[in-house]
């Protein structure tokens, strides 16, 4: 995913719409921000990110402002530069998780 986004592009691609807000209503903190970033990343790229560094920093900051969570939150527990894989199932509601 590209890392440079203009304000207009952020607004058009990373803004949460009504259905998105329904999906994140029961989430808080890092989970809420991470879920929103995964959701929008999936819409834009048609895949889930493998690493936390794939999220464009301008998008992280923009979405963090929307959901009122500090922008540093999606990196927890994954530290920036750690390169451990992100697993989408950690952000899905419980009925969708594999057992």
Q: Tell me how far apart the alpha carbons of residues 13 and 21 are, in angstroms, rounded to a whole number.
A: 15
Mean pLDDT to the nearest integer, 84-92: 49
Contact residues for 94 (Cβ-Cβ < 8 A; gap 6+): none
Structure confidence by residue, pLDDT tens digits, 22-73: 999 999 888 899 899 999 999 999 998 888 889 999 999 999 999 999 887 5
Under the banding of pLDDT at 50, 70 and 90, the label for residue 94 is very low
Under the banding of pLDDT at 50, 70 and 90, the label for residue 86 is low
């Amino acid at each position: 995913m590209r890392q440079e986004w203009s304000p207009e592009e952020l607004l058009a691609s990373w803004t949460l719409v009504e259905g998105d807000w329904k999906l994140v209503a029961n989430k808080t903190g890092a989970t809420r921000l991470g879920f929103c970033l995964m959701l929008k990343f999936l819409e834009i790229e048609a895949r889930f990110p493998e690493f936390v560094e794939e999220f464009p920093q301008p998008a992280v900051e923009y979405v963090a402002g929307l959901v009122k969570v500090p922008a540093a939150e999606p990196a927890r527990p994954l530290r920036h530069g750690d390169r451990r894989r992100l697993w989408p199932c950690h952000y899905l509601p419980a009925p969708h998780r594999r057992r």
